[in-house]
Chains A and B, each alone.
Chain A
Amino acid sequence: MAIGINKLLNWLLSWLPFLHGSVAPDSIVGYVIASLIHIGLLINLVAVGALLFIWMERKVAGRIQDRLGPTRVGGKFGWLQTLADGLKLITKEDLMPGDADGFLFRIAPYVSFCASFTVFFAIPFAGRDMPFVAQHLNVGVFFILAVLGLEVFGVILAGYASASKWSLFGAMREAAQVVSYEVPLGMCAVVPVMLAGSMDLVYIGDRQAGWFTSWYVFHDPFTFIIFWVYFTCATASVNRAPFDLAEAESELVAGFHTEYSGLRWSFFFMAEYGSMLAVSLLASILFFGGWNGPIPITRWLGATPAFGWRHEYVGNLLGCLNILAKGVLGVTAMMWVRWTLPRLRIDQVITVCLKYCVPIAAVAFLGATWWQYQWPDRAFFGLRALPPSAYMLRENWPTAEGPAANTQPGQNAVSTTAVAGRAS
């Protein structure tokens, strides 16, 4: 992308007589512009997403509690309610307790938001030969799980620096909860990695192309169970109700953000909604085919790499809409759960994690491994046979003879050769 931007700049500058050829193809200008475009798009996704989700949260809550929710601001459906909220938050006084550790108190919301935002750098929004991803990582799943766990650090800093016992209690609860739930969350995320044979999210998504029957959630009964465990653990690890112990207002005033107001407070909520969207997008890539819809419409339309890059670009745009729709659906499900179930006690939260989620995830992981070993050539609960091209693929890696054949970043390094095992 950077090289393309440099060529475009060079072409534009060639209209000026004295600047012709002044931009080299590997100039820094293109790289800076490319990264600014990536960052701008992702910030827009997180910020606009938060605007949408806060409005949706109110509407969903209203619907579930048999009332209307916001109706006045911005027309019939109260579209602009979040903007009004934001204006109110900006005009609020920025308070800080007298005893607080000022530096840590000020910086904590940004730590939370940074961790939540960094996750989006590794999430692909479309795949195949030119994936829509800011940084195509070979270990995408692992990186996302690692960075998601860092959001808790901002919460701990906030709870400690506020010099308030409610904040400290809330932060300690959140720390215990998030650290515990990382264990089953990792075990769940490992199953699609095992089925695809790669930690590359672009590769995992591409392996589920075609009809909804090739989605990993329907791969076998064990992955179907694993998905629900993943959803429970993801809800808990982003600190949503019924697991929102850290901000239990009936016991802890407001938990870790008791002492926060105005814009800093809203940063915590941007981080929370960003994380919700991130785990939903991760779920849709790992289990629901990512950018591949339930019906292969893009293939029928001819928007595939086989027809050239313009067709593929259109297909990728459609896929991008597809994965965003799945992510919003996941967030909506989390809201539905929040307004339906009562909050758990802290001992119940830890019991759900250690006595239910971890054993179920472990057993289902073993079961999925056995199933994949037994029937590597079947999908959709073993009902559908896969063509050899769909499972006789593996990631390429460098060997003693030489480097891997196709390892340019941004391309899927796969080959159909040298697959050992029971594929026959």
Chain B
Amino acid sequence: MDQPIYWPSVFFLLFGTAACVFAVAVVLSANIVRMAFYLVLSLAATAGLFFLAGADFVGSMQLLIYVGGTLVLLVFGVMLTSQDRFISMKTSREEMIVAALVGACLLSVLVWAAVSVPEWKGLDRAAAEAIPLQPTASPLGMGLLGVRVDGPDRSGYLLIFEIISVHLLVVLVGAAYLARAKRKRTMVAG
């Protein structure tokens, strides 16, 4: 070996392999809670990839939203809808074929895009090691408030941020309203 191992690549392969293996495990397992468990591991490995890339804010976001929120919701859904103790799902052959086709199409498009865009080409090792590690939270926060620190002439994301915030608020209020509306009104004296 003429030069030492580039450890970020090793960890990339480690996390990437974990994410892929557990993603396949989600597809292959029949028990829905085990699927959820494998999905947690796969998403956590993806968060590891983000941390590896120095994007600690996005990595934490991945942990909070995808690993935490989505899976708790999923488990809620499973437990409230399942009739048997251990529900297991069988997939028919036709569904498998259709799903495999759709998945293969998506994968080919993504791989083609990843290889063909010139800006996404990998750097050589010396250039990759020369990039300093920067904190990402402050530039992201400033960008959401409309100030781009990486280029003052570029536009920020204030309007989009506000629209999404108001949208989420509306969804929350609507969910609370719907949850209350099902309750039968009983008149209580006094």
Contacts and interface: CB of A to CB of B under 8 A. Distances in A.
Interface of A: 24, 27-28, 31, 99, 101, 103-104, 107, 137-139, 142-143, 145-147, 149-150, 152-153, 156-157, 160-161, 163, 168, 172, 175, 179, 199-200, 395, 397-400, 403-404, 407-409, 413
Contacts of A137: 56, 60
10 contacts: A31-B7, A99-B85, A101-B34, A142-B61, A143-B63, A146-B67, A157-B37, A160-B75, A397-B149, A404-B135
Interface string B37-75: 100100000000000000011011101100110011001
Interface stretch (B98-106, B115-123, B136-144): B136-144
Contact of B76 (A150, A175, A200, A397): A175
A407 B133 contact: yes
Contacts of A145: 64
B86 A397 contact: no
B7 A28 contact: yes
User: Residue among A137, A145, A200 with the most chain B CB within 10 A?
Assistant: A137
B152 interface: yes
A397 B132 CA distance: 12
A259 to B, nearest CB: 13
A104 B86 CA distance: 12
B137 A139 contact: yes
Contact of B37 (A104, A146, A163): A104
Contact of B75 (A28, A163, A175, A407): A175
A27 B5 CA distance: 10
Nearest to B153: A400
Interface of B: 4-5, 7, 31, 33-34, 37, 40, 56-57, 59-61, 63-64, 67-68, 71-72, 75-76, 79, 85-86, 132-139, 142, 149-152
Given A146-B68, A160-B33, A168-B79, A153 B40 contact: yes
Given A104-B33, A157-B33, A179 B64 contact: no
A140 to B, nearest CB: 9
B152 A400 contact: yes
A303 to B, nearest CB: 28
Given A149-B68, A153-B71, A138 B79 contact: no
Given A146-B60, A146-B68, A153-B72, A404 B133 contact: no
Contacts of A407: 132-135
User: Residue among A101, A139, A163 with the most chain B CB within 10 A?
Assistant: A139
Contacts of A408: 133
A415 to B, nearest CB: 12
A146 B56 CA distance: 12
Given A99-B85, A168-B79, A199 B68 contact: no
B135 A397 contact: yes
Nearest to A404: B134
B135 A395 contact: yes
Nearest to A24: B4
A400 B7 CA distance: 30
B137 A199 contact: yes
A397 B139 contact: yes
Nearest to B65: A146
A149 B64 contact: yes
Contacts of B86: 101, 163
B134 A139 contact: no
B64 to A, nearest CB: 4
A156 B75 contact: yes
Which 3 A/B pairs are nearest by Cβ-Cβ distance? Answer: A146-B64, A138-B135, A397-B138
